[in-house]
Structure 1
Amino acid sequence: MLPEITVAFLLLNMIGANVEITRAVERHSPARCPPGWRSFNGHCYVVPNMMGDWQAAKTHCRAIHGYLVEITSSSENTFVANLLTLATSPRMSTVETRRHCEHSEYFARNAWIGLTDRESESHFKWSRSGQAAGYTNWMNSPRQPDNANSIEHCVELYNGADRRWRSAWNDKQCQCFRAFVCEKGPTGY
């Protein structure tokens, strides 16, 4: 017969191992996302069928219990770009067209992401976590970020016709109307 201390120790080790196995399965299982959201790497993503300036996009994502997407890897960036390509292009009202910032459909498929340097020029941080971007995918022709006219403080993911720039990032005026991508964990944020 085993002493009570040994039995208790074995039980605690078994419980601890079970907790670790459960955590590992949760990390590698696909996220359970609400209808209309897509799963990638344990998170849920959606492209709402609307456009807005950067602040309105951030507010809308919060209203649906998410946040503007925080892209942390090349594979996530590719996933988000593909998600935008599959999304229905939102229609713009006359007011939105005037706030679009370009008179061309060339930029109509670009989308806001959660990166901004509104607090401190050239110090880009994710709006939800406040973390500096570890991964970036800036356009290189023209070189970005460039803070053109000293008014570009929000970041868009380019998804237009020019394949050289597809999925690259550009700093842009926060007041421009864009599509946007919301992200959340499988149980909200």
Structure 2
Amino acid sequence: MEVEILEDEEHHADLGSQQARPNTEQNGAAVKRRCFRAPAVTLGVMYLLMLAGIYIRYISVTLEKDQLQNRYDKLSNNYTKLQETVSGKRCPDGWKRFGCSCYFRSNEKRTWTDSRDDCQNKGADLVVIHNKDENKFVSELNNMYGEFWIGLKTESTRRSSYEWKWVDGSPLTETFWAARQPAATWGWYTAFSNQQGQWTQSYDDFTKYYICEKRVSCIL
């Protein structure tokens, strides 16, 4: 009897040990799963944070790009306006500036009418002289070419007479006629100047050099 009891106790002990072993293994596996799950969650959170950071950076870069593009467009517009303003104050190539005008000296001879047509094709007209300084400037501008046409001509009045006027319609005020000039004002005449700045009346079918004048901005 004692032997049987001992055997039964050992058998129950073995059963208890066998039953306890699976529970221990299950607990160990659960612990391992928890150990692996925690780093996975951490990595997932880090991945989401990285994605959020990349997205925020993308939005920031896009906004900066738009701001830079807007600034560039504004600077480009300002530069274009500045160029237009400077171009309005600067004389074209081959022209000389004096006061509020640009002057072009021809290197070929034409009649008075053809000379004026060429000036108008250049966006200008034959030179209009208003004072002594301007008269001196245009004379020196053409001093190597001799006589040149100016924008002065006679026009008929209501009383069937003629009077001198500039091509822009302004009246003749200060004059620089040569001696015994003008000789007559009863017909249609034009005028030219010599190297000394002295004016002489003439018929328009002679060929001479000429000077064109283009008005520009007076603000330098």
Query: How many residues are matched?
Result: 128
> Where does residue 178 of structure 1 map in the other structure?
208
Matching residue's letter, 1:158: N
Secondary structure of 2:163's aligned partner: coil
Match for residue 33 of structure 1 among 91, 95, 103: 91
Match for residue 76 of structure 1 among 134, 155, 158: 134
In the TM superposition, residue 119 of structure 1 has moved relative to its aligned partner by 3.2
> Where does residue 191 of structure 2 map in the other structure?
155
Moved runs in structure 1, 4+ residues, more than 6 A?
A: none
In the TM superposition, residue 178 of structure 1 has moved relative to its aligned partner by 0.5
Matching residue's letter, 1:139: A
Contact persistence 1:152–1:172 (CA under 8 A): no
> Where does residue 144 of structure 1 map in the other structure?
181
Aligned-residue Cα RMSD (Å) equals: 2.3
CA distance, structure 2, for counterparts of residue 176 and residue 69 of structure 1: 18
Establish whether residue 134 from structure 1 lines up as the match of residue 192 from structure 2: no
Matching residue's letter, 2:175: T
Matching residue's letter, 1:126: W
Matching residue's letter, 1:183: E
Q: Which has the higher contact order (CA 8 A, sep 6+)?
A: 1
Gaps (5+ residues) in structure 1?
Answer: 1-25, 90-108, 160-165
In the TM superposition, residue 147 of structure 1 has moved relative to its aligned partner by 3.2
In the TM superposition, residue 32 of structure 1 has moved relative to its aligned partner by 1.1
CA distance, structure 1, for counterparts of residue 188 and residue 209 of structure 2: 17
Q: Name the CA shift for 1:178/1:112 in 2 (closer, same or farther; >3 Å).
A: same
| Percent identity between the two aligned chains | 28
Any residues of structure 2 matched to 1:1-189 within 5 Å, and which? 31-85=89-143, 89=145, 109-120=146-157, 121-127=161-167, 129-140=168-179, 143-147=180-184, 153-159=189-195, 166-186=196-216
Determine which structure has the larger helix proportion and give its number: 2
CA distance, structure 2, for counterparts of residue 173 and residue 151 of structure 1: 10
Superimposed CA distance per residue, residues 106-130 of structure 1 (whole angstroms, 9 cap, x where no aligned partner): xxx1100000004355410011x21
CA distance, structure 2, for counterparts of residue 73 and residue 173 of structure 1: 24
CA distance, structure 1, for counterparts of residue 194 and residue 162 of structure 2: 19
Contact persistence 1:53–1:176 (CA under 8 A): yes
Contact persistence 1:152–1:171 (CA under 8 A): no
Contact persistence 2:111–2:208 (CA under 8 A): yes
CA distance, structure 2, for counterparts of residue 114 and residue 77 of structure 1: 12
CA distance, structure 2, for counterparts of residue 151 and residue 158 of structure 1: 22
CA distance, structure 1, for counterparts of residue 198 and residue 95 of structure 2: 23
